[in-house]
Each structure stands twice: as C-alpha cells, then as structure tokens.
C-alpha cells in the first residue's frame, strides 16, 4: 500500500488531530452500498470520478472500486483476516492531512457510512480539525440482503419494528436487553461470523423460539450472492456461507406467506421476558 506524503506523522492514539489552516478540500464519507455498482447513488458515483484521494475499506467491491477515477490515489485502509492495515487513529489523521492539499477526499465505506461503519470517530476527528465534511449515504447491508432474499423487513402482517445489531464474541460486548425484542421484531444481525451454532445458542438463550424462521444472506447484490433459509434451531447445523454475510431473524424471514401471517410466537404475544441476556453490539 502506498500512502502519499509519508513524512506526515499520524497522530498518536487518542490524540486529537491538530487544526489545519487553511484547508483546501473537503472530506466525503461515502456509502459504497452492498457491492453492485448500479446501486451506488448518483452523487457517490460522481464523487468517485472526481476525487483526488480515495481511502476505502476491504468490504468495498472490486466493481465499485473500478468506478474510481484512474487519476485518483487509491488507498486500502481495510482489514484482512482480522489484521488492520492502519489504526483508526491513523486513518483519522490521514483524512485531516489529505484535506489540506486536495479538493475532494473520499472515505469510501461498504454499505452506509452511518451503520456499523465507525463514521462517528472520523466525524469527530474532522470536526476537531475544522475540516469540512459531508456524509453521502449508501444502501446498507440490511436492506440489500432483504432485497436479495425477497424479504420485507416490516411486512405489516408480522413486523412493526426492525432491530439492527452485530454479534460480538468478545467479553467487552455491550449487553442487549431482550425485553426490547417482541413478536413483531425483525432482528438483523450484521457479521454473524462463521460459528452459526454459537449464534443459534445465543438467540435461543435470549428467549427466541427454536422454530422462528431466519435467513443467511452472503454477498448480497453480488454475482456470488447466496441465500440460505433456515430456523434458529437448524441454523446450528447449516453450512457456513462466505463473508460478508448477514442474518435476518423473524417471522418475515419465511418463504411461505402462511407462516408469516400466522402467530408463530403463541407464548410471546406481547414481548420476550428478559431474564437471559446475550452479548451484542
């Protein structure tokens, strides 16, 4: 990976970037969507074709990267096999630094920048350094995966709310109160990981019925797209699908309208009691 102006030292961890004056350019936090370049917004496409610098995550597809201007400096700041190429603090510092010399700096993120994209930390750094920025939303994985599977996340026959969350295997995961999940909740689980048995156990420990439908969607909107229909109990034995994958849990995740419209949670008419808590963020 080649980084322009290597003499510029990234800020130390936890240190706020120093304000730079005057700032020549602007930083755009752009959503790359789920991978299909035809799902890019017109504004996102224009910025990719006008940018001088593009810093992108590993989840951005090759097809979307191909839309970047050939004259732009393209920098991969993503994660490979759990190893980060740059720390978040170093990425923050680069965004601030590049905006001093370049009119359009794009921070390209898979899906939507505001959904599990760590955009908040970059926004804070840009604000502290008085660097102009703009968020360009993209199609997030939840809606892309639902579209791929032909699922309506808020089908009025079965769902009145959607909960977006991620699965955490670390001890520092934020505890999720299962009392907020009701019989009309669609649960969308980003990054479920390769251990479906553990996910299945956590969902059952949280009080979800074993026969509740779910669907795993891999590489939504891409040519490699796969959809696996299951239930919480069967999920433990399902073949693992390639990352990036997403899990949709709820009555809407059924291929059969009858299952969607019937009450699948007879004992859970109002809400799930929450004596049991699993770790999610």
User: Among the options 43, 79, 195, 258, which is catalytic?
Assistant: 79
Determine whether 79 is an active site residue. Answer: yes
Q: State the Cα–Cα distance between residues 152 and 257, nearest whole angstrom.
A: 12
Q: What is the pLDDT of residues 240-272, one digit of tens each?
A: 999 999 999 999 998 775 566 554 444 344 444
Higher pLDDT, 181 or 33: 33
Determine whether 57 is an active site residue. Answer: yes
| CB contact set of 33 (below 8 Å; sequence gap of 6+) | 39, 40, 41, 44, 64, 110, 111, 138, 139, 144, 221
Half-sphere exposure of 183 (CA within 13 A, CB side): 14
Q: What is the mean pLDDT of residues 127-151?
A: 96
Q: What is the pLDDT of residues 195-249, one digit of tens each?
A: 999 999 999 988 899 999 999 999 999 989 999 999 999 999 999 999 999 999 9
User: Among the options 36, 57, 237, 258, which is catalytic?
Assistant: 57
Q: What is the pLDDT of residues 89-131, one digit of tens each?
A: 999 999 999 999 999 999 999 999 999 988 999 999 999 999 9
* All domains of the chain in start order, with CATH: 26-139 (3.40.1010.10), 142-279 (3.30.950.10)
* Alpha helices, H only, 26-87: 42-50, 62-65
């Amino acid at each position: 990976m080649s980084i322009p102006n290597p003499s510029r030292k990234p800020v130390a961890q936890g240190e706020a970037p120093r304000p730079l004056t005057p700032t020549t350019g602007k930083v755009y936090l752009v959503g790359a969507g789920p991978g299909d370049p035809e799902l890019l917004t017109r504004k996102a496409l224009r910025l990719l074709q006008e940018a001088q610098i593009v810093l992108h995550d590993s989840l951005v597809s090759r097809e979307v990267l191909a839309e970047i201007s050939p004259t732009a400096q393209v920098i991969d700041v993503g994660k490979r096999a759990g190893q980060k190429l740059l720390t978040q603090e170093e990425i923050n510092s680069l965004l601030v630094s590049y905006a001093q010399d370049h009119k359009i700096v794009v921070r390209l993120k898979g899906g939507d920048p505001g959904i599990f994209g760590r955009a908040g930390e970059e926004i804070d750094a840009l604000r502290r350094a008085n660097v102009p920025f703009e968020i360009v939303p993209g199609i997030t994985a939840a809606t892309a995966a639902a579209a791929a599977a032909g699922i309506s996340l808020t089908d009025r026959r079965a769902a009145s709310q959607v909960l977006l969350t991620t699965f955490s295997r670390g001890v520092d995961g934020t505890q999720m109160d299962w009392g907020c999940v009701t019989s009309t909740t669609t649960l969308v689980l980003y990054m479920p990981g390769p251990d479906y048995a553990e996910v299945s156990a956590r969902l059952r420990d949280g009080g979800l019925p074993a026969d509740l439908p779910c669907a795993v969607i891999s590489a939504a909107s891409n040519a490699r797209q796969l959809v696996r229909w299951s239930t919480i109990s069967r999920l433990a034995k399902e073949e693992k699908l390639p990352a990036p994958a997403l899990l949709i849990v709820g009555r809407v995740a059924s291929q059969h309208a009858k299952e969607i419209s019937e009450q699948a949670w007879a004992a859970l008419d109002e809400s799930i009691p929450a004596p049991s808590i699993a770790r999610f963020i």
